[in-house]
Structure 1
Amino acid sequence: MSVAGSDIVLNRLLSLHPKKIDLVLDRILRLLGDLGHPERALPAVVHVAGTNGKGSVCAFTRAMLEAAGLKVHVYSSPHLVRFHERIRLAGHLIDEKELAALLEECERVNAGKPITFFEITTAAAFLAFARHPADALVLEVGLGGKYDATNVVARPRLTVITPVGLDHAEFLGASLAGIAAEKAGIVKPGVPLIVGPQDDIPRDVILRRADALGAPVGVFGQDFFAHQEHGRMVYQDLDGLLDLPLPRLVGRHQIENAAVAIAGLRRVGGVWAMERAIEQGLKTVEWPARLQRLTRGPLVEDAPKDAEVWLDGGHNPHGAVAVARAMADLEERTAKPLYLICGMLKTKDAEGFLSAFRGLARHIVTIDIPGEDASLGAGALYDRARAAGLDAAPAEDLEDAMMQIAAHARIDPRESPPRILICGSLYLAGVVLLENG
């Protein structure tokens, strides 16, 4: 089957089983049973839920385990450019032909019964993971936790809950306690749980659930700590202190995410916790569109001379605060006027997101997310930016947005070249990576 083969099957599955979200486990369990229960034949599973940082924690965990010489499967979502990014088999992205064959197998076995797109594609991923030998599977929750299609592994080796905040309210509700309860649905009896930085309400909900199930817990800020000191990362837990290189991923929040990954590996112990591998993983970790510096491509060429161009896929207020803090840290080191190019989905708290940049961003240019029906219009996003107290203007597309920023930057030629952040959506980030080569 050609490279486009998996796309053909995916498009057919999307038309038959729309990309809707219906949080129950009955359908995925039925299909997995018909497939022979591949979820029961997986390597040691690290199951990761949370509102922000779960993808980064998965990336750190994978990098550190691979640095220890282990073979690691990874399941993550959404993808940025192509669907096969979601499934990594023992260090390599799944082959297009194998992906297409697995999707067709799941489609055939499902036999037209009701199922969502995420459920049937998750079943295909579990088939792949069960059929390829590996030492570990880093399994990222899609949405929520309790009723997410990934939550079918009876006894993972480790569970992790990264910071919980308000997002996906249309599916999880607008209560922080309720969202935390959904995330805590991945906690399993007797299985170690690592809890990332949390506000009081979600932390209490998660810890009550862990206590009820007898799950041993490690909590950031209580059982383990991390901070930056003299250009190094210092990690400490009850077993001692590690003097480590700063993570390759940019931002103070990535020190916290790295610490969560380290705490999990040290809780498991053995080869998973080798200090040399932890150090190497911090240096080699990759996670596109998370404060990623773009250094070449058409967008960089269209930017003002010597401008910095950054890309981040964060899309909720909690994530925006972390990104804004990282931009402020860059400003302290090298002062440059900050400009934003922002596109967001209709379902997101755009005003809350943009408020994080008040007093930091010089100007914001709003755009539609190309090819995304659920995109908030550039004009509507402009209104949200103004409501957040920011200077803003709408643009037709990315190219027009960059031209507007270039015109702005020319107003005072004595200023430093600008720092430009493209942000607001993983879907926008995917478009940028695709169009920018």
Structure 2
Amino acid sequence: MPSGSDPVAQGSDRILARMMLLHPKVIDLTLERMHRLLAALGHPEARLPPVIHIAGTNGKGSTQAMIRAGLEAGGAKVHAYTSPHLARFHERIRLVGALISEPALTALLDECVAANGPDAITFFEITTAAALLAFARVPADFTLLEVGLGGRLDATNVVERPALTIITPVSIDHQQYLGETLPEIAGEKAGIIKRGVPVIVGPQAPEGLEVIEARAARLGAPVLAFGQHWHVAEERGRLVYQDETGLLDLPLPNLPGPHQVQNAGAAIAALRHLGRDEAACAAAVSRAVWPARMQRLRHGPLVEAVPEAEIWLDGGHNPAGGAALAATLARMPARETHLICGMLNTKDVQGYMRPLADHAAHLWAVEIEGEANTLSARATCAAAQGLGIAASEAESVAGALAGIRARNPRARVLICGSLYLAGRVLRENG
């Protein structure tokens, strides 16, 4: 994802653009190139602060954000790596609580390019190596690594012995890379499990859980699974968590949506395993920040275009993400809801839209500017209409907002369908 035209980041932007040319494929899952480059860099992956490695289809970023909030509330220094970014590449690399600086990022990228030489390597691999190099050089108490795609062959899966692994809910997505069935995909996600290292497992379909538990058993990795070793639920407007050490009565997550209760449960299980107290768990659910996950937009030109509307932004893009959005909308006060939707042509478009059909008064289909794999507005519109959703094409998000204002200036607006669209919206909205 491009990092925009921020003049502060022009040095790193030029290097990142060159990196895009180092391998013809955007995604080519193998660890051979990663191991080669890390060896040339002196094996930074072996010198990281204790690693918490997170895989899954949905909820990885939110879970990581909650764990970070909980650890930092107790005074811990935490590195964090996530992808993709939304507005600027720097969002991917967080050093002891702060986004990496432009000079530090530029120097690291230059060093990685020089170490790699003329050899082929993907953009994600070489930028992950840069992140690991940064983390190895700056003292901290923990390193949070979010898997990019899958797990077994993901570029982050180079740490031989993390302190903890986490697998959030697994569902069908990225079939062209991970397999057609849920057990196949779960097997790829379970590839982050390491011998003897505890693994926290969020809510799973039975066939996915079976695969995860089987790999953990082969490796002697203790399993801490939702519904068996820990439980979490919303009760009377509170989050109630329980495990063998006791019960916690906490506020509901500040990240909107009922699905965040499950993500919070995994984060709390991690914090409890790491010996953190109730205050840390409370901070995890009350202080986490994670943009474009049912984020309310309150300022900026897009909001000013329809000042009486209620505008939300979400980057979910698969059927499970659509279901989570629908559950969130179902719990909100009744209000005519319009969707502004842009998606990639690699996604299950109708699978994503189907849960939203009962909540949408109208869908405005847009293309994601600058993305080669964007689904056309016409195809997005046709997919919605095929589900019985009234839909129109729009030239842009701003154009869709103008159409909504003409119909109902006090509507609820949900901009959704892709993290790439969400990132562009955040850049355009300032």
2:364 maps to what in 1?
365
| Displacement of 1:419 | 1.1
2:126 maps to what in 1?
120
Q: Are 2:83 and 1:83 aligned?
A: no
8 Å CA contact 1:18–1:117 kept in 2: the answer is no
| Displacement of 1:355 | 0.5
Of residues 320, 323, 334, the one that matches 1:318 is 320
Of residues 62, 66, 78, the one that matches 1:60 is 66
Of residues 405, 413, 417, the one that matches 1:424 is 417
Q: Are 2:108 and 1:106 aligned?
A: no
- Alpha-carbon distance in 2 for matches of 1:393, 1:25: 44
Trace 1:3-14 onto structure 2 (pairs within 5 A).
3-14=9-20
Give a deviation string over 1:114-152, Cα, whole Å, max 9, x none: 211111111111100000000000100000000001000
1:403 maps to what in 2?
402
Give a deviation string over 1:52-76, Cα, whole Å, max 9, x none: 0001111001110000100000000
2:284 maps to what in 1?
281
Deviates further, 151-160 or 166-175: 166-175
| Displacement of 1:2 | 6.1
1:413 maps to what in 2?
none
Q: Which letter maps to 2:428?
A: E
2:349 maps to what in 1?
350
Give a deviation string over 1:71-95, Cα, whole Å, max 9, x none: 0000000000111110000001001
Give a deviation string over 1:138-196, Cα, whole Å, max 9, x none: 10000000000100000000000001111111111221111100000000111010011
| Displacement of 1:283 | 1.5
Secondary structure, counterpart of 1:364 in structure 2: strand
Q: TM-score, normalised on structure 1?
A: 0.95
Q: Which letter maps to 1:361?
A: A
| Displacement of 1:18 | 4.5
Of residues 282, 298, 301, the one that matches 2:301 is 298
Secondary structure, counterpart of 1:48 in structure 2: strand
Q: Which letter maps to 1:17?
A: H
- Alpha-carbon distance in 1 for matches of 2:74, 2:24: 40
8 Å CA contact 1:25–1:148 kept in 2: the answer is yes
Secondary structure, counterpart of 2:129 in structure 1: helix
**How has the CA–CA distance of structure 1 residues 70 and 18 changed in structure 2, closer, same or farther, with 3 Å as cutoff?**
farther
Q: Which letter maps to 1:194?
A: I
8 Å CA contact 1:355–1:389 kept in 2: the answer is no
- Alpha-carbon distance in 2 for matches of 1:121, 1:19: 15
Secondary structure, counterpart of 2:94 in structure 1: strand
2:201 maps to what in 1?
195
Secondary structure, counterpart of 2:364 in structure 1: strand
1:338 maps to what in 2?
337
1:138 maps to what in 2?
144
Q: Which letter maps to 2:291?
A: P
- Alpha-carbon distance in 2 for matches of 1:354, 1:2: 38
8 Å CA contact 2:171–2:182 kept in 1: the answer is yes
- Alpha-carbon distance in 1 for matches of 2:219, 2:387: 43
Unaligned runs of 5+ in 2: 1-6
Q: Which letter maps to 1:205?
A: V
| Displacement of 1:231 | 2.1
Secondary structure, counterpart of 1:105 in structure 2: helix
| Displacement of 1:388 | 1.9
Secondary structure, counterpart of 2:358 in structure 1: coil
Give a deviation string over 1:228-261, Cα, whole Å, max 9, x none: 2222211111111001111110011001101101
1:268 maps to what in 2?
274
Of residues 247, 250, 255, the one that matches 1:244 is 250
**How has the CA–CA distance of structure 1 residues 2 and 228 changed in structure 2, closer, same or farther, with 3 Å as cutoff?**
closer
Q: Are 2:230 and 1:224 aligned?
A: yes
2:3 maps to what in 1?
none
| Displacement of 1:16 | 2.7
Secondary structure, counterpart of 2:34 in structure 1: helix
Secondary structure, counterpart of 1:309 in structure 2: strand
2:156 maps to what in 1?
150
Q: Which letter maps to 2:21?
A: S
| Displacement of 1:19 | 5.6
Secondary structure, counterpart of 2:331 in structure 1: helix
Moved over 6 A (4+): none
